[in-house]
Chains A and B, each alone.
Chain A
Amino acid sequence: MQSNAALEYDYSVARLFTYTTILFGFLGMLIGTLIASQLAFPELNYLLGEYGTFSRLRPLHTNIVIYGFTLSGIWATFYYVGQRVLKVSIAESPFIMAIAKIHFWLYFVGALTAVITLLLGITQSKEYAVFEWPIDIVVVLIWVLWGVAMFGLIGIRREKALYISMWYYIACFLGIAMLYLFNNMAVPTYFAAGGLGNIMHSVSMYAGTNDALVQWWFGHNAVAFGFTVPIVAMIYYFLPKESGQAVYSYKLSLLSFWGLMFVYLWAGSHHLLWSTVPDWMQTMGSVFSVVLILPSWGSAINMLLTMKGEWNQLTENPLIKFMVLASTFYMLSTLEGPIQAIKSVNAIAHFTDWIPGHVHDGVLGWVTFMIMAALFHMAPRIFKREIFSKKLMEAQFWLQTTAVVLYFTSMWVAGITQGMMWRAVDEYGNLMYSFIDTVTVLHPYYTIRAVAGLMYLVGFLMFAYNMYMTITASKRLEEEPQFRSPMAA
C-alpha cells in the first residue's frame, strides 16, 4: 500500500442500509402515529380488521423502530465508519464484501418475514423479544454475519489502534449477542411433542419470576446495546468529523466507556421494582441506575465540550444542531431514567404513560436525531452529491424538536396524573376513582401525543425527501468534503 494515495472506500453496503433506514423509519413512525391516535380515538382500531387493533400493531411499531430503523442505521454507519477508522476498504477483501452483502439481504428478507409473522400474531409475547424460534435463528445468523464482517475488517486493518467508535460497535455486537441468546432460549413444542401442533410454537426455558428477570435483563440492556452504545459510536465519529474539532477528552471517553460497560447491566432489574423479584436485586437495580448517570453524562459532556470555542457552528450548520440536541436529549433521558428507577418514584411511574414518554424522548430526541444527522453527513460522501436543501433541514429540525417536547411533556403529565389517581383515597381510606376514570381523563394528553407523533412523522418525511433529492437530483461533488457537509442554500 502506498502511504500517500487516498484509499477508495466502498460504500455499496452502507448505501443499501441507508435505504432501509429511511424505509423502516417511515414505516415505524407511521404505525407509531396510528397507534398513538388509536388511544385518543379508538374508532381508528378497525381500519384493518383483526390486523389493525392497537394491540397487534404495537409490537409491530416497536419492532420496526428497533430492529428495522435503528439497526439499519447502526449498520449503515458501521459500513461507513468502520472502513474509515480502520483505514481499510471493504472491497479489498472479496470475502468480507460477500459476507456484508449476504448480511444485508438476509437482514432485509428476515425483517419482512418478521413483519408478516407479527401481523399474524405469531409471537412469544416477551416485549422486544417477540419473535418465534425460526426467526430467532435467522436473527442469530444475521448477527454472526455482521460479526464476521466487523472482525474481518478489524483483522485486515491498517490503523493499529481502534478508534473510540469501534469500541462501541464491538460492545454493541457482543452485548446484543449475549442478551439475545439467553433471553430467547425456548423449546419448540412441535419437536418435543412428537410432531403435534404448530411448528412455530415454543415455550420459554424460564418460568415466572425467572423469566421476568431474564427478560428485563435483556429488555433494559437491549436499550443499552442497541439505543445507547452504537449511537454513542456514531456521535464519537460524526460530531468531531463534521465540526472539524478533536474529541475533547480521551480520558473521559475511556472512563465513560468502561463505566458504561460495567454499570449498565446491573440496572435491568429496575423494571421489576415492587414485583416478586428478590428485594436485594431490586435495590441493586435502583442504585446502579442512579450510578449510571455518571458514564452516560460522561460521553454526553465529552461531546458537548468537543464544541468548545466553536459554538458558532451551531448557528451555521444544521447538522451540528442535530447532534448537539441529540446529546442534550441523551442527558435528559439518562437523568429521567434514574429518577424513575428510584423506588418511591417508580411506585407512581411504573405502568403509566410516563414510561413511553421516557422511551420516546430518548428514541426521538437522541437516537433518531443522531441517525438522521449521521446519514446527512454520509450522503455527500457516499453519493458524491451536495445535500439538497439546508432550509428544509432547518425546518425539519424545529418541527421535530417541537414534536419531541410536546410528546414527553404530555406523557409526563399523563403518567403522573394516572399514577396519582390510581392511589388516591378519600377521607375514609377508600379508593377515589374507578379504573375507567383514570383512562378517560387522559384523552387530552393522548390527543397531544398523537399530534406530536404526526408532526415528527412529517419531519421525517422532510428528511426522506431531502435525502431522496440529494441522491437523485442534487449538484454533483468532484472531491470528497473534508469536514463540514456541503449543502445547497
Chain B
Amino acid sequence: MFHWLEKNPFFFAVGVFVVIAFAGLIEIVPNFAEASRPVVGLKPYTVLELAGKEVYKKDNCIACHSQLIRPFKSETDRYGQYSLSGEYAYDRPFLWGSKRTGPDLHRVGNYRSTDWHENHMWEPTAVVPGSIMPAYKHQFTNIADIETAYAEAVTVKNVFGTPYGDEFQPSKEAWEAHKPKVLAEAKAIADDMKDPGVKAAVEAGEVPEIVALIAYLNKLK
C-alpha cells in the first residue's frame, strides 16, 4: 500500500490531503452549523466604533492585549464576567489575542473612561507607572478612515445579515447622509477629552484615530 503510493505521486498527494483534511472536517464543521448567535441585547458596532477597531488592528494592539476572559476566579475578579461565545457574534475578525503583555481588554469599557484612555495613549507611564507600553501619540494627529468603516458596515449587513438599519446602503449618497451621525458621536467623545488639536479636528469634520479608538474601547464591556 505505502510502497505503491510512493510510486504514484498523484494518489500519494490525494492520500495526504484526505488524511490532513479529516480533522478539520470533524472539528470545525459542527461549530459552523451552530454559528455564533449574538447574546441578547448585543448591538453591532457603530461606524465610529468600527473605525476604532481598525485603529486597534492597525496599531496591532492584539500583540499585547487579549479580549478573552477565561472562567477562572482570578480572571473574573480582575476583569469581570467571563467571556461568552455570543458576545463575539459581530467580531470579524475575532481579536482574542494570544499574549498578555498588558491586561485583558474585553470589559475595559467598564472600568476605564475616555480621559483615562486619552492620558494613557499619550503617555502610558503617566497613568500606570512602570508600564512598558509605547506611547501612541500619532493617533492624536492621524485621521481615522470612517468611510472604510462605513463600507464595512454595509458589507456585513448585505453579506452576513448583520442588523444595521435600512439607511446603510452601498452608495456615496447614503454615506454622506450617515456621516453627520458619525461626527456627532465623535464630538461626544471629544467633549470628554482635553487635547485642543483633537477637539479642533472634530469641529472641522475629521475624526482623529484616538477618538475612534476610544469609542471602540468604551464599547468593550
Contacts and interface: CB of A to CB of B under 8 A. Distances in A.
Interface of A: 38-39, 42, 45-46, 49-50, 53-56, 58-59, 121-127, 151, 154, 160-162, 167, 170-171, 174-175, 178, 182, 187, 189-190, 192-194, 196-198, 201, 203-215, 217, 254, 258, 261-262, 264-266, 268-269, 271, 274-278, 281, 284, 288, 347, 350-353, 355-356, 418, 422-425, 430-431, 435-436, 439-440
B175 interface: yes
Given A162-B12, A178-B17, A356 B31 contact: no
Contacts of A42: 131-134
B174 to A, nearest CB: 9
Given A194-B172, A422-B74, A435-B103, 4 more contacts: A38-B132, A197-B151, A209-B31, A436-B131
Q: Which 10 A-B pairs have the closest CB atoms?
A: A208-B88, A197-B148, A194-B170, A265-B23, A197-B151, A121-B58, A193-B151, A45-B134, A276-B85, A125-B57
A353 B154 CA distance: 39
A59 B60 contact: yes
Contacts of A49: 138
B96 interface: yes
Contacts of A277: 31, 85
A131 B80 CA distance: 33
A208 B74 contact: no
Main secondary structure of the interface of B (DSSP, over half): helix
B36 interface: yes
B192 interface: no
A265 B22 contact: yes
Interface stretch (B65-73, B182-190, B197-205, B213-221): B65-73
B112 interface: no
Contact residues on B (Cβ < 8 Å of other chain), bracket: 35 or more
Contacts of B130: 436, 439-440
Nearest to B172: A196
Nearest to A54: B134
Given A42-B134, A196-B150, A203-B152, A53 B88 contact: no
Contact of A167 (B12, B23, B68, B129): B12
Contact of A170 (B2, B12, B36): B12
A210 B36 contact: yes
B94 A178 contact: no
B27 interface: yes
Contacts, number: 265
Contacts of B134: 38, 42, 45-46, 53-55
Nearest to A262: B19
B83 interface: yes
Contacts of A122: 58
Interface in B136-193: 136, 138, 142, 145, 147-152, 154-156, 158-160, 170-172, 175
B131 A126 contact: no
A423 B74 contact: yes
B213 to A, nearest CB: 13
A423 B31 contact: no
B170 A352 contact: no
B99 to A, nearest CB: 6
A436 B61 contact: no
Interface string B97-137: 11111110000000000000000000000001111111110
